[in-house]
Structure 1
Amino acid sequence: MLERPEEVLFVDGYNIINAWPNLQSAKEIDLETARQKLVDIMSEYSALTGVKVKVVFDAHMVEGGRRIIENINGVEVVYTKERETADNYIEKMVESYGKESGKEYRVRVATSDFLEQRIVLGKGAIRVSARELLYEVNRIFEERRKKEDIMKSRKETLADRLDETTLKSLINRIKGCQA
């Protein structure tokens, strides 16, 4: 049986924040809040799908800035170093995943930057627009909600969880104790 390749999703953080309405409105209040909301959404997405998510934020304009990589709730969050854009970092990483020996990866890049989409396609990644990612995230969250609704609607009694033979045996024992 063929194993599915491990999937990695690079997210151009500010590109997605500027494209998703709920994050745009959060950004108007506070950029840090918008970043945290995006990371929270992608953390939940990763937990539900098993996809490794790496959210990359530009920090190339920060003088003397060093690259910062941290793990937040299972999501790798990258702040690029001085003079390094999120696009530059993502391109390098896409290329490195293609060269890693012994393991096959399915690499996707979420951005609506047309030029960046073309570049990562040329390096072997699959491009995902901000709109497509939003649709995918919403679909997966909706599937989870439906499953939760089904689980909530089921009766949660002991009798519902027992097979018929065990249930009859238990009922007979209870009746025997009452006699």
Structure 2
Amino acid sequence: MKIIFVDGYNVINSWPNLNGMKEYSFDGARNKLHDILVNYASYNNCRIYLVFDGHKVAGNIEKVYEEKFVTTVFTKFEQTADSYIEKKVNDIGRRAEIIVVTSDWLEQQTIFQRGAVRMSSLEFYNDVLKSEEKIDKRMKKNYVKNRNLLSDSVGDEILAKLERMRRGR
């Protein structure tokens, strides 16, 4: 299974739909990103680690919320998302296909050395949009427009009689 590490704040600052949202609600932008990633991961059958910096919050402890497809991590005080991702990628090694989503140039160079593939935040945004289009197409394909309702086959007079019978009149 493919594993994707996402630098959460880097993505929020890069994606147009989330960048505007963060101006009035960082929590809302984080939740929206999480929801988008859950859909993406379930459709693409991959595991995503969504990592948010907690390094500037004094006394912050690492918080990890695991779900079926997405694990959300808030790093501890004085630990950046980059350092968390580097450590995890190093621990996993070359046993799995790993993609790191970040636009941080230094992080990208480090990731290459560890055997992971890097994807910029905007490249990932376009990949997510393509997946959402495929999901929409699949849903529209599965939606049956002509459901063969009784009202399509019989006249109004018969429908009225049947309705009276149903109501016991």
What residue in structure 2 maps to residue 45 of structure 1? 40
- CA deviations on 1:52-104 (whole Å, 9 max, x unpaired) are 000000001111111100125631000000110000000000000107xxxx3
State how far apart, in whole Å, the 2-side matches of 1:107 and 1:150 are.
Answer: 32
In percent, how many aligned pairs have the same letter? 37
Specify the code of the residue in structure 2 equivalent to 1:149. Answer: K
How far the C-alpha of 1:149 sits from its partner, in A, is: 1.3
Tell me the TM-score normalised to structure 1 length: 0.79
Which residue is 2:158 aligned to?
Answer: none
Q: Which residue of 1 aligns with 2:122?
A: 131
The residue type paired with residue 91 of structure 1 is E
1:51-90 superposed matches below 5 A: 51-72=46-67, 74-90=69-85
Say which of 27, 33, 49 aligns to 1:32: 27
Instruction: Return the letter of the residue paired with 1:90.
Output: I
CA-CA distance at 1:24 after TM superposition: 0.5
For 1:12, the equivalent position in structure 2 comes to 7
Aligned residues: 149
Unaligned runs of 5+ in 2: 149-169
* Partner Cα separation in structure 1 for residue 146 and residue 116 of structure 2: 46
Helix, strand or coil: the match of 2:34? Answer: helix
Q: If the length of structure 2 is used for normalisation, what is the TM-score?
A: 0.83
8 Å contact kept, 2:10–2:103: yes
Give the counterpart letter for 1:27 in structure 2. K
